[in-house]
Amino acid sequence: MSFLPKLHDINTFIFDVDGVLTDGSVYILENGSQLRKMNTRDGFAIKYAIEQGYKVIIITGGKSQGVVKRLKGLGVKEIYSGIHDKLEVLMELVDIYGLDLGKTLYMGDDMPDYEGMRVVHLATCPDNAAHEIREISQYISPFKGGEGCVRDVVEKVLRVQGKWIKKKVVDVQSPK
């Protein structure tokens, strides 16, 4: 697995929403509202990574305020929604915040993510990503979008860096 050494350098995660944090489906209600489903294990991993000092950035073409509210609730501060040119936003983050692309993992699933994924240290995607995205990804998660692919990459990075949750051993004595 040639991508493993790259995990040591990661301090920033960039995620798309539709097709990565969701399964890509949009449920349309009669009133025109749109619903998306997110995986709670992905959410836990994002929140835990932020608590461990990692930067998590969301760049999405979608404009769902429900998605933004969910991500803010997990502690994500950098959420860019309604974005058509994701590479432009990424380069602005480099200029404004000094984002180090050499320490950045980007997980995308479709063509709007393509150019941004090509400039980061580690490009990753869910198992069901578009063919072109799979071709440029150094790691393809065995999990589909919305089904744990985000948890997969976050956990891998944190485990390699020794920051994933350590099991607590509890000495439980049976009553006599």
Per-residue model confidence as pLDDT tens digits over 81-129: 999 999 999 999 999 989 999 999 999 999 999 999 999 999 999 999 9
Q: How many residues does the chain have?
A: 176
Residue 174 has pLDDT above 60, yes or no: no
In this structure, are residues 146 and 127 in contact, taking their beta carbons and an 8 Å threshold? no
pLDDT of residue 9: 96
Q: What is the dihedral of CA 13, 159, 138, 56, to 10 degrees?
A: 0
Query: Where residue 144 sits, what CATH number does that domain have?
Result: 3.40.50.1000
Give me 133's structure tokens.
């995205």
Tens digit of each residue's pLDDT (9 = 90 or more) over 61-80: 999 999 999 999 999 999 99
pLDDT of residue 167: 74
Mean per-residue pLDDT over the chain, rounded: 94
Mean local confidence (pLDDT), 141-149: 98
Range of the domain at 36: 4-160
Give me 33's structure tokens.
């509202």
Cα diameter, the chain: 67
In whole angstroms, what is the distance from residue 146 CA to residue 90 CA? 23
State the pTM of this model: 0.92
| pLDDT above 90: percentage of residues in the chain | 90
- Sequence-distant (6+) residues with CB within 8 A of 47 are 74, 75
Mean local confidence (pLDDT), 150-156: 98
The verdict on residue 154 lying in a domain is yes
pLDDT class for 2, splitting at 50, 70, 90? confident
The verdict on residue 19 lying in a domain is yes
The verdict on residue 171 lying in a domain is no
Lowest-confidence range among 32-36, 44-48, 122-126, 138-142? 32-36
Phi, psi of 71, rounded to the nearest 5 degrees = -65, -40
The verdict on residue 166 lying in a domain is no
Residue 175 has pLDDT above 90, yes or no: no
The verdict on residue 59 lying in a domain is yes
Of 156, 124, 122, the C-alpha closest to 140 is 124
Angle at 51 between CA 45 and CA 57, to 5 degrees: 65
In whole angstroms, what is the distance from residue 125 CA to residue 142 CA? 9
The verdict on residue 167 lying in a domain is no
The verdict on residue 49 lying in a domain is yes
Domain count across the chain: 1
pLDDT of residue 118: 98
The verdict on residue 27 lying in a domain is yes
